[in-house]
Amino acid sequence: MRIYGNDPGAPNAETPGHRYAALIGGPLDGQRLDVTGWSAHQLLDGAALITELGAFGPGGRAHYEGQPGDPDRLHWVGDTP
């Protein structure tokens, strides 16, 4: 599974001691995001992740948010410019 933010061709091994959340749906579906040190509130708020694959092309962002009781997955809620 690809780690979000890794350079193309970089190994996709998870770093021991880090915590990862799966990205579900949207343009980054199937990738994992390093959420080491994120609080429960930050996981619920999620992140707007830069991607060229979303509706707004290069420089656009895909927004992923957590859901209560599911801290290991962030779900796609839409794209933003």
For residues 48 and 27, the answer to whether their CB atoms sit within 8 Å is no
pTM for this structure?
Answer: 0.90
Alpha helix (H) residue ranges in 1-81: 40-45
Q: What does the block give as tokens for 79?
A: 């794209």
Longest C-alpha distance within the chain, in Å?
34
Tens of pLDDT, residue by residue over 49-65, are: 999 989 999 989 999 99
CA 41 to CA 21: how far, in whole Å? Answer: 14
Confidence of residue 16 (pLDDT cuts 50, 70, 90): very high
In the predicted structure, residue 9 carries a pLDDT above the cut 80: no
Domain positions in the chain are 20-80
